[in-house]
Structure 1
């Protein structure tokens, strides 16, 4: 069954959703590029924002999920990565462990395209999250044999949502062109792998915007690593270097 973008856009963005006898809204992130615009045979997953005094909580509704379908993750943009990534990891594992599987089924994040004013989707089926204590430059060093045949670039989105590439700060407007030019000049014919790192305090809204920005790099010469590092800077090894 093909999803109706218009219907889902109304139900997710505009209408309150009845959950646990109370009304809640999922406020979707917004960016200006559509990665995907349609998806068929889907199950909705909701991660709600809930304020409890000074604390922010995440409430998960996956009761309508069917393991053989494509899963659409509708996540409130106000939630932090520190709250949602553990929940996403649990849901990813649940789907993989299911006795009924569909090898062609995918997982996508939903968001709003500010240009077309419609719903869009960002696939993340193959993403494996490294959480809290890992950062790509250390991981690459520990697994040199896996990456020796590639040109590797560490991209970091820090707590202030600033971008660094191998420790060098890059303006957001220059990011895509910089990476493409740098990789073309330095890769020596090797495939370039972009390793994405995100401070766990970033909002989900910032995460989707950064992910879509990085997706614009992809080509036959540049790939995004399937590992993503959601880190707590306080838990990373002391290196005396710029992340």
Structure 2
């Protein structure tokens, strides 16, 4: 079986057997730094073609842990449809291994090696969070729901139903979120599709690292 070591080449940002380059998203102090029994997929950014995305999934093995290497320069609008596509391929396979997980591969700057962010159970919705709640009124009425809308890095809105609790920014959103989040609340994340994959991974990783260990919904929204 393919082992974690074969993915070390990703740290150099090269794809296997071609001249294409991937710039991995950067994180620091990852909780996951070693994964075994893996197979890779690649999402390339093409500087010469606007909105061009090249997915290479030919090395994926459905029974393994998947390491998805996404170029940090891609926007969520570019990357998420392809990520959803490969997720569905694995979920619908009759040969899938229920214990196998999915991870985004990152460059952990604190150890100058690879780090990983798991997304196995994330369900991506290419729609707005308000639209989702409109069609799920019973869920929307719960007072234990906190919404975080990442519009830009300088404009992040934290809401409870229609009540704006706080407007914050990239540097302060974890502190502000912890201050306003009520006990046993579930946090729903909503991202502007124009945000880069680097931005997305930064926010996800900060939530994972939060000392408060916030309960974050597996449903994520890209608008």
TM-score range, shorter chain: 0.7 to 0.9
Corresponding position of 1:84: 79
Partner Cα distance (1:126, 1:15) in 2: 26
Corresponding position of 2:38: 42
Cα deviations by residue, 1:25-64 (Å, 9 ceiling, x for unpaired): 11101122303111111110111111334x1311111111
Cα deviations by residue, 1:180-218 (Å, 9 ceiling, x for unpaired): 2322xxx3x5x2111111111111111111111222347
Whether 1:119 and 2:111 are equivalent positions in the alignment is no
TM-aligned CA deviation for residue 137 of structure 1: 3.6
Q: Which runs of 4+ in 1 moved over 4 A?
A: 147-150
- Aligned residues: CA RMSD: 2.3
CA contact (8 A) 2:33 2:114 kept: yes
148-157 or 102-111: which moved more?
A: 148-157
TM-aligned CA deviation for residue 18 of structure 1: 4.7
What aligned pairs does 1:1-243 form with structure 2 within 5 A after superposition? 3-4=3-4, 8-9=7-8, 11-14=9-12, 16-18=14-16, 22-53=18-49, 55-131=50-126, 134-146=127-139, 151-160=144-153, 162-166=155-159, 167=164, 168-183=166-181, 187=182, 189=183, 191-217=184-210, 222-231=214-223
Other structure's SS at 1:126 match? coil
Measured at CA, do residues 192 and 2 of structure 1 come closer, stay the same or move farther in structure 2, by a change above 3 Å? Answer: farther
Partner Cα distance (1:117, 1:202) in 2: 25
Gaps of 5+ in 1: 232-243
CA contact (8 A) 2:65 2:101 kept: yes
Partner Cα distance (2:13, 2:198) in 1: 20
Partner Cα distance (1:162, 1:213) in 2: 17
TM-score (norm 2): 0.87
Gaps of 5+ in 2: none
TM-score (norm 1): 0.81
Other structure's SS at 1:85 match? helix
